[in-house]
Each structure stands twice: as structure tokens, then as C-alpha cells.
Amino acid sequence: MTTFPKDFLWGGAVAAHQLEGAWQAEGKGVSLADVMTAGSNQTPRKITAGVQAGENYPNHTGIDFYHHYKEDIKLFAELGLKCFRTSIAWTRIFPQGDEAKPNEAGLKFYDDLFAELLKYDIQPVVTLSHFEMPYHLVTEYGGWRNRKLIDFFTKFARVVFQRYRQQVKYWMTFNEINNQAQLDDWFLFTNSGLQVQPGEDAAELMYQAGHYELVASALAVQIGHQINPDFQIGGMFAMGPSYPASPDPRDVMKAERTMQANYWFTDVQCKGKYPAWLKQYWNRQNYQLDITLEDEDVLKAGTVDYIGFSYYASHVVQATDAEADDFMTQASDTQVTNPTLQASAWGWLIDPVGLRYALNWFTDRYDLPLFIVENGLGAVDKFAKGQIHDPYRIAYLRDHIQQMALAIAVDGVNLIGYTPWGIIDLVSAGTGEMSKRYGVIYVDKDDQGQGTLKRWKKDSFTWFQHVIATNGQDLT
Ligand code: P53
């Protein structure tokens, strides 16, 4: 079956704060990722009030990509990557976020990094804000609860669009902008620098911050297109389909509403306006959101060129007895397990067919090009005598690529690329662990930060290299 288009973007994905390290190099400011400690599957990461002595902050050193990128890119070239998705650390460019002038040393780092990629014909694919903002904007402005953030972000966007207009074609504005819809403290912080104060309604705060981000994103799309009309600027969403727990129509409605509640960000970025159900919900909740008529025009004029999304797992939801009307209950008893699927060691349900479902769902709803910019299996790898045998990772990637092939060949989905997450081992976003590994390249570093940082090829490296070389024809 000839499936993947000949210019399909096989790649790998990472984010600045999870691998660069060098958290204070050459004028870099403190980012919100720099105040998150290491956690584990059982213990959540702590968000400390500034950087505190005696805490373990794994992002401070990452895998020291800042000083290793040349050798790493050489490996990416050997792997055959056509593109490499990374993000720009906002704090390298604007260390505090509210300066008038950017930090030249930070800009220079990405000049060199992108030049190194292009030397091997690897296209950089760049996220502007990947769980990343200057911590100063959190402490001084309250993060994205503040409309001023729109100006700080668009200034940052303009500077990097201008600087890298010839090196970078594919951009994304905010990584997984929709995670915060879960109203989880960690997601609110990592997406938007929000810390809910006593007496505040977390949901109302999230809708307000989300709105400012959507306006900032829409402005960035317009600024980017002015700077280079060839730019492809996408949204980026965490996609985890919600299935109904049973054929009970209330469970079906629950699943529908859960999808609506998780993807209204996508509606705004792709269709340029808020969905009707959400406006009704805000009215019923009596939320007083700062959304102006000008904002609405901006949203309409700044829709995205493509949909970037991450896909790891699916979920099952059921209606509770309490929710007769809006199906918005977020209690944990609305989530149930799926007996048809296996889970990863971190409890994420492995569902390759769900990826095909997601590709179809996005296509039907938005009819835009799709780019899978994250997918993969976080697993504990055994390192022995320079070898890492990871058949479980190969199986995961193969099963997902097979479903991508079906979505293209059978369903006619317009899929432009695939960049598996953490192509080289890096710090987990959710837990701060090194031992939750995704890479086809192993990095010798442990959860305590010990190790030589030496890089090793896993079995999955050779396998993925062959997949790329055959353009996805041979997955054996
Ligand atoms: P980690 C949760 C659910 C879905 C995606 O996650 C998520 C998260 C965050 O935990 O984040 C994305 O490292 C994110 C990456 C992250 C990756 O998924 O927790 O864009 O930064 O590393 C995997 O296993």
C-alpha cells in the first residue's frame, strides 16, 4: 500500500525546557519550568515560590542539549529525520518577559541550532510557548490572567518570526493549550502561569486566561503571515478522545460534551469563534469575562493554517446521576477504565485505533491539514552493556503508524507529518522524571540527576531509521 506522501515530515519532538538545561546561560531568565521540582508517578511535582535551595529541579540541567546539540543533531541526521520539533525558550529571548529589547545571546543560540539542523536538511518545527513563560510574568502580572500578557507574547512572537523567517516554516503558538480545561493546578500553572487564589473560581480564571491566549495566538498568526506569507502557523492540542462508557444515551452525551469541553480551544483557533454551547454555559454560570468586540474580530482574522496535536491515550467517561443538564461534572467518578485496552506503566491507555479516530474527528470537524507532533510510550528502559532493547516502544510506534497509514489510505485524511515525542530521552513534563523515557536515543542520566549524559542508540533507533528510509512502507 503506497500511503505516505513523498514529502511526509518524519521527525522527532522535544521542548526547550525539558532538554536544553543551561537554565542560566548567557542571560536566560527563570522560567516557570525552573520552579518545578522532580516528582514521580505517585508524587506530583511541587511548584515552589521561586528557586529554593535544597530542591531538585530537573529542568535546570535537562540533558544539557544546550551544549550537546551538535552531536545530537548528528544522530538525528543518521536517523534520517526530515524535521525536528522543538520550542524556543521564551526566557532566553526575553529573560523577564517585559523588557523592551531581546537578549541577543539567546537569539544567537537558536540561529546556531537551526543552522545546524538545516545543514543536514532537517526542518525545524517550532513551538513558541511550550509550557514556558518567564516566571517574572507569573509573579508580577499573575500570568495569563492579565491582558498585558498579550503584548508580551506578541512582542516575543514578532522578534522570533522576524529573526528566523528564512529558517523556519512550520510554527505552533501554544503547546497543548487545552490541557488547562482539566482545571488541574499543575496544568493551570504550566499552561498559563495561573495560581488560583482563595475565593477564585478556577474555571472562570481558566476561561479568561484561555481567551487572552487565544487572542495572542490569533495576533501572532497575523503577524507571522505579514512577516512571511509562506509561514504555516498551527494550533497545538492534546488529543485524547473520550469514549462513552456504555450505549446509555446519557453516557454518549457525556462523551460528546467532554469532547466539546476539551476542544473549544480548537474551535476558536480553527473556526475563529466560540461555540454556542460554551457561550450558553458562561451565561448560566454568570461569568463576567473580558471579551471585547475587537477581540472577536481578531479571533476571526487569525485562524490557524494546520492542526498540530499530541496523541498518547484515550479515555472513557460516564454521566453521573447528578448531571442532568450540562454534563460538565469533572468529578473523578466520571472517568472509568477501558477493559479493552492495556495501560502503560504510568497508567496511560494504549489505543492505536484511537489515533485513527482522532485523525478522522479533526478532519470532519475542521478540514485542515493535520500534523501529529507528539506520540510515544513513556517506559522504563534497561541499559546493559551499551544496549537498550525496547521492543515495547517499537510495537507502540508501529501500531500507531499503521493506524496513520489507514487514516491516509482508507479515510483520505490530510496528514503532513509525524514527530514522536522525546525522540531523545528528556525530563518528563508531568512527573519531572528521567526514568519515564520516550526516546529512540538513550541518555545516561537518572532521576537524581546523576549520569554521564552519554547518548546511546536503542533498538528502536534502527527500527525507526528503516521506517523513515522506506517512507513508512516497511514497519517490520
Ligand atoms: P510526560 C499530560 C497529558 C498529555 C500530554 O508527557 C502531556 C501531559 C503532561 O504530562 O504533555 C505532553 O512527560 C507535553 C510534553 C510532555 C509529553 O506530553 O508527562 O506536550 O511536554 O512531555 C509527555 O510523560
d(CA 459, CA 441): 9
CA of 14 to the centre of ligand 1 (A): 10
Look up residue 101 and give its amino acid. K
For 282-312, the pLDDT digits (tens) are 999 999 999 999 999 999 999 999 999 999 9
- What per-residue confidence (pLDDT) applies to 324? 67
What span, in angstroms and rounded, lies between the C-alpha atoms of 207 and 180? 9
Q: What are the Cα distances from residue 319, in Å, to 326, 332, 380, 390, 449?
A: 10, 11, 35, 39, 43
What percent of the chain stands above pLDDT 70? 99
Looking at residues 189-196, what average pLDDT do you find? 98
**Confidence band, pLDDT 50/70/90 cuts, at residue 1:** low
Beta strand segments in 139-282, E: 170-174, 232-239, 242-244
Q: What does the angle CA 26 – CA 32 – CA 36 come to, to the nearest 5 degrees?
A: 110
pLDDT tens digits for range 103-133? 999 999 999 999 999 999 999 999 999 999 9
Look at residue 323 in the predicted model and tell me its pLDDT. Answer: 79
Average pLDDT, the chain: 97
Chain segment 240-289, per-residue pLDDT in tens: 999 999 999 999 999 999 999 999 999 999 999 999 999 999 999 999 99
For atom 13 of ligand 1, the residue with the nearest CA is 428
The secondary structure element, H or E, covering residue 309 is: strand 306-311
Cβ–Cβ < 8 Å for 30, 134: yes
What percentage of the chain carries pLDDT values higher than 90?
97
In whole angstroms, give the CA distance from residue 217 to residue 168: 17
pLDDT for res 459? 98
Q: Which atom of ligand 1 is nearest to the CA of 436?
A: 24
Which positions ≥6 away from 27 have C-beta within 8 Å?
92, 95, 103, 105, 106
CB atoms within 10 A of CB 50: 9
CB atoms within 10 A of CB 387: 13
Average pLDDT on 218-226 reads: 98
91's grid cell? 526566557
pLDDT of residue 406: 97
Q: What is the DSSP string of 161-193?
A: HHHTTTT--EEEEETTGGGGGG--HHHHHHHH-
Q: Answer whether 0.85 is exceeded by the pTM.
A: yes
Domains recognised in the chain with CATH numbers:
9-469 (3.20.20.80)
Cα pseudo-dihedral 358, 361, 364, 368, rounded to 10: -40
Examine the residue annotation and report whether 132 is marked as an active-site residue of this protein: no
> How far apart (Å, rounded) are the C-alpha atoms in residues 433 and 428?
5
> How confident is the model at residue 2, as a pLDDT?
63
Are 233 and 171 contacting, i.e. CB atoms less than 8 angstroms apart? yes
H helices, E strands: number in the chain: 14, 17
Which protein residue's CA is at the shortest distance from atom 22 of ligand 1? 429
Q: Residues 20, 116, 176, 374: which is the catalytic one?
A: 374
Q: Which atom of ligand 1 is nearest to the CA of 431?
A: 19
Ligand 1 atom 21: residue of nearest CA: 429
| Distance between CA atoms of residues 419 and 412, nearest Å | 20
405: alpha, beta or left? (left if phi > 0; alpha if psi -120 to 50)? alpha
